[in-house]
Amino acid sequence: MNYALTIEDHHFELHPSGALFWPREEMLLISDVHLGKVTHFRKFGAAVPPSLIRKNFDLLDRVMDEFTPSHLCFLGDLFHSNINSEWQIFEKWVAGTSGDITLVTGNHDIISPLKYESLGIVSKEEYVRNNFYFTHEPSKRTGMFNISGHIHPAVRLKGKGRQSIKLPCFFKSRDQMILPAFGKFTGTHVLPVKSDSEVFACTRTEVLKI
């Protein structure tokens, strides 16, 4: 179940996958997919199941089918490192996707922008729309609301006993929201909750405000 949230008088939908949909602009925002990471680690002997590769693309298909955006914006770290065999899968995926695609480049995005351009994907360091600006790393700009990724935010929930669970989350403050990592093979980082923080935890099936 998605979570409906209003930011700066704009309606957004928070999806359990970590995707954020902006209905007014028909825009889907996704951060930190880290395509190619599974293949990269397996190349160096890590025991990572190759099935995770397909899960990333299946999840992309699922959110695209649910929201049918006219614009897909990746907020950085789309591909983990250099081109490997997952790039060919990505090429086929893009060919079957309609609408505009923008990549706001992140620290892991070392593949030439010309490669993305050949697929019809526009690469830029930041993207501005209305009073929102989108970056990979969290940023602050007077009078604007920043939406970013990079941190892979998570929250740790504790029960009355010693049990605890760590869940990826959307992490919002007064003028900023950090999206959880979308990729299935990524770590998380627990952020300290402050007085102006709003935390929306992602389970497999729903987003819950904590």
pLDDT at 153: 97
As a whole number of angstroms, the distance between CA 38 and CA 57 comes to: 13
CA distance 165 to 144: 34
Cβ atoms of 77 and 34 closer than 8 Å: yes
164 pLDDT more than 90: no
Instruction: Specify the DSSP class assigned to residue 53.
Output: H
Name the average pLDDT for the chain: 91
Angstrom distance (rounded) from CA 124 to CA 48: 32
The continuous run of DSSP H or E covering 6 comes out as strand 3-7
pLDDT at 18: 97
pLDDT exceeds 90 at position 40: no
CA–CA distance, 37 with 21 (Å, rounded to integer): 25
* DSSP string across 102-157: EEE--TT--S-HHHHHTTTEEEES-EEETTEEE-SS----TT-EEEE-SS-EEEEE
pLDDT band at 158 (very low <50, low <70, confident <90, very high): confident
Q: Which residue has the tokens 């669970």?
A: 165
What mean pLDDT do residues 171-194 have?
91
Residue with tokens 């602050």: 140
pLDDT grade, residue 95 (50/70/90)?
Answer: very high
Say yes or no to pLDDT of 47 above 60. no
Which tops the pLDDT comparison, 130 or 26?
26
Q: pLDDT band for 38, please (50, 70, 90 cuts).
A: low
Write out pLDDT tens, residues 12-29. Answer: 999 999 999 999 999 999
Q: How do the residues of the chain divide into helix, strand and coil, expressed in percent and rounded to 5? A: 20, 35, 45
48-57, 103-112, 118-127, 178-187: least confidently modelled range: 48-57
**pTM beyond cutoff 0.85:** yes
pLDDT in the model for residue 81: 77
Q: Is pLDDT of 32 > 60?
A: yes
Q: Count structural domains, the chain.
A: 1
* Reported confidence tier of residue 43, pLDDT bands at 50, 70, 90: low
Judged against a pLDDT cut of 90, whether residue 45 lies above it is answered with: no
Highest mean pLDDT among 107-111, 131-135, 193-197: 131-135
Question: Taking the C-alpha atoms of 60, 134, 21 and 188 in order, what is their torsion angle to the nearest 10 degrees?
Answer: 60
Q: Supply the range of the domain harboring residue 171.
A: 3-209
Domain CATH for 182 = 3.60.21
